[in-house]
Amino acid sequence: MTDPRDPAERLAAVEADNARLRRLLDEAGVPDSLRHGMRNTMAMMRTVMHRSAESAADVETYVAHLDGRFGAVMRVQAATDAFGDANLHTLISDELMFHLVREGEQAMIAGPRVRLRPRAALVLALALHELTSNAVEHGSLALPQGRVSATWRIAEAEAGMPVLTLAWVETGGSDVRPPARRGFGTDVLENMLAYDLGAQTTVSYAPDGLSWTIRLRLTARIGHQAVEDPAEDPAEDPAEDSEVAWDDEGR
């Protein structure tokens, strides 16, 4: 361990650091948009610390999981533009690549261009981290033949609001089972997304891999579909042009 203090002391130290940072931002006259984005990130990191502590079996596990989750938050920051928005395709590919899962080899990613607002990008990035790390450690991606597909589409709801549906489907695993206990990952996939983004999610376990689907309305605070630019993002094909099969069960 790199820090001899107990988790409660480390939490208190981070809270104090966050308070000092907020004061410095105010004193420096940082633009509201940047300050808001940094506060979003700090709030998310506090949430991750507290919820990870609640479900950790021991301090060593807590520190290891916390390091991975903080890394996911930092990758979001590296992927955002000047407005704090993030490209959905980039969030997925970056998380997979961090775990050495390459698009076009073990992973298939397809869907129209979607840009997510800062808070939505942070929460979804955490969910993608939990999915990927679980698949690599315990699921289909722990085996050479394991594969994962992350595909999404956008449809108009009855009220005219665009609805994003993203399906994460793992295959090629062996004897994949639900977790023996509920932890932070389950909380993110089932509760945090619903609470923070108003999303609907489903998780199912087949012997060869996990399947997870999220459905959320693309409101102004969540994100929007961006104009397609093949020259800029050749890897992102519109959903209607991709060979993606959909059904009502999210697989």
d(CA 165, CA 150): 11
Does pLDDT of 118 surpass 60? Answer: yes
136-171: pLDDT as tens digits: 988 889 999 999 999 999 998 767 789 999 999 999
Distances in Å between the alpha carbon of 31 and those of 28, 42, 60, 76, 191? 9, 17, 39, 20, 32
Q: What is the pLDDT of residue 132?
A: 93
Q: What is the pLDDT of residue 1?
A: 38
d(CA 9, CA 2): 14
Q: What is the pLDDT of residue 178?
A: 81
Q: Please state the φ and ψ torsions of residue 115, each to the nearest 5 degrees.
A: -110, 130
Q: Considering the chain, what is the average pLDDT of its residues?
A: 76
Q: What is the pLDDT of residue 250?
A: 38
219-236: pLDDT as tens digits: 999 999 987 655 444 444
The model carries a pTM of 0.70
Can you tell me the mean pLDDT for 16-30? 59
The DSSP H or E segment spanning 116 is: strand 114-116
